[in-house]
Chains A and B, each alone.
Chain A
């Protein structure tokens, strides 16, 4: 056999071997071999759910992104929604930057070029279409396009709290800002602004009467006095929900988590849409702090996240879930600075019965806020809905107590955020003044 012949045989054999090996790997459960680069913070938890985004040999379809993100974009009144660009008069702009597809700006698996919010474009991307902005906004002359979205003024998707007339409407409001640190951190006079929860449940308890410890229907072997006591003082007992309603017939000591969802519909939905529950939603095991990229307490590393990890299912006291539960895992500087921060002390004060009810600011007050939905007041269990980009917290969270000017400044000050807002922000964003100047 000639040298060339031997070579092509070797090539053929190696190719076939590669084919068989790769074929087996791609069909198998462990697809790590095919991951071209680490995923963004947003998606790393579901890295192995390749098919959630990739269509076999079809790349990443826009629809894959929308399965999870469409609702929140609609809610944000997406300023650059796909439908705005369907008209062919946008052709020239789209040739430069096809903003109709998420992955053009948010390319996955590219850690080296991935910036905040998973953006993989250079930060001056706004210039592609808005290069002439200074013509109609002379105040913007000479501003760097890098600063449009990074200086607290604009957001590509969500400008609900940043548009000019909103700034003006709220600039007029007298500042309702609570006293800054240095003054009394939790004055009894500061009114409570957080509403009590009012959650509808899917299964109406009907005319069940409220129950006491004597009514507990748990089998003797499982009816530990301490658990029964806690349950007897809970909202479940008041609503007539007995042990057997959750522990079932035949009795089980560990009812499955999904059970909570039979009555509580909205909360698990939000939970699974956020970082705490997205693994469950993607069909993996529960999230644990060990799998997180944020700093977590080592002693919590194997903690499996579900309803019961924040809520004690027996006493159903919601207060521990609002801060203490968070701090049992989270160990980044923002979280660890919380207890001593003005917000943290106001919460402590409310827990101690000193502050007005609804005046304490827990972790959940800001990141899992209580939101009015029709007649109900629901707790948003998607922690991502009020996190990043932090401008989306302005309307639903910060303005509950603070003026818009202070809010915009604080959210643009990374140092203040890192230390959990120890005092007035050190940074000032000029957008309110600019809006006022243009009105004159």
Chain B
């Protein structure tokens, strides 16, 4: 299936796959509606439907915190990125690069729990991003690349692809745009992720899942994507 059709929701010529996905989607809709309703429960449902309808008018979504005079999504995204990038650089330089590559004290490993090793910079990044997303739905961030070790880190939305292209053309300027995902519009900012230490390139170039083995220090290896929902 081509990436385009993925983005559009699967209307590709691979109709078998399309049908299967349609089938699964209908299962999901049913699951969302709630698990199977028996006949007795359906009868009860008819009687109580009206009552429930009255009870479900919940409070509306929180009002926009970005009122006039507040900070703009771009300033917020830039600020978030500054912190993310600073922490990421420090971890790569003063933890991984120092302990693994310079002093040979401890390795960084994808299977850091089993190997009793340091988590990879990308894993520290993602663990932080996941923890933050559990705590707050005001912003999200992710690490992506055109040459990913993990294909889940490939650009997934048209804006991610556009952002990476723009950084390839001019890494000095972040890419900004608005995109709508699952009904929510996001302010999306894409920043270059640069090989700040020798460790970045030695590891990626040697990794058996890396599509490239010629990264150099200082080069843009991927991007940090920050999203802020606009509501």
Contact = CB atoms under 8 A, between A and B. Distances in A.
Interface of A: 15, 18-19, 22, 25-26, 33-37, 57, 59-60, 77, 83-84, 86-92, 94-98, 101, 103-104, 107-110, 120-122, 124-125, 127-128, 131-132, 135-136, 160, 163, 165-166, 438-439
B131 interface: yes
Given A33-B40, A125-B24, A165-B110, A59 B34 contact: yes
B7 A92 contact: yes
Contact of A36 (B37, B144, B229): B37
B47 A18 contact: yes
A120 B27 contact: yes
B106 interface: no
B9 A92 contact: yes
Contacts of A101: 31
Contacts of B37: 36
Secondary structure at chain A's binding surface: helix, strand, loop or mixed?
helix
Interface of B: 1, 6-7, 9-10, 17, 20-21, 23-25, 27-28, 30-32, 34-38, 40-41, 43-44, 47-48, 52, 55, 110-111, 113-114, 129-131, 133-134, 137, 140-142, 144, 151, 156-157, 160, 181-182, 184, 186, 208-209, 225, 227, 229
Nearest to B25: A96
10 contacts: A22-B43, A25-B40, A36-B41, A89-B160, A94-B182, A107-B27, A108-B35, A131-B1, A135-B151, A160-B114
Contacts, number: 135
Given A18-B44, A19-B47, A22-B44, 14 more contacts: A19-B44, A33-B40, A34-B38, A37-B38, A57-B55, A77-B113, A84-B130, A89-B157, A96-B24, A104-B32, A110-B36, A124-B20, A132-B151, A438-B208
B209 A136 contact: yes
Contacts of B156: 89-90, 92
B41 A34 contact: yes
B150 to A, nearest CB: 9
Contacts of B27: 104, 107, 120-121
B41 A86 contact: no
Contacts of A120: 27
A88 B139 CA distance: 10
Contacts of B114: 160, 166
A83 B129 CA distance: 9
Given A91-B181, A92-B9, A97 B24 contact: yes
Contacts of A91: 157, 181-182
A333 to B, nearest CB: 32
Please provide the 8 A-B residue pairs with the shortest distance between their CB atoms, ordered closest to farther: A36-B38, A86-B133, A91-B182, A91-B181, A59-B34, A83-B130, A36-B36, A22-B44
A94 B156 CA distance: 12
A33 B35 CA distance: 16
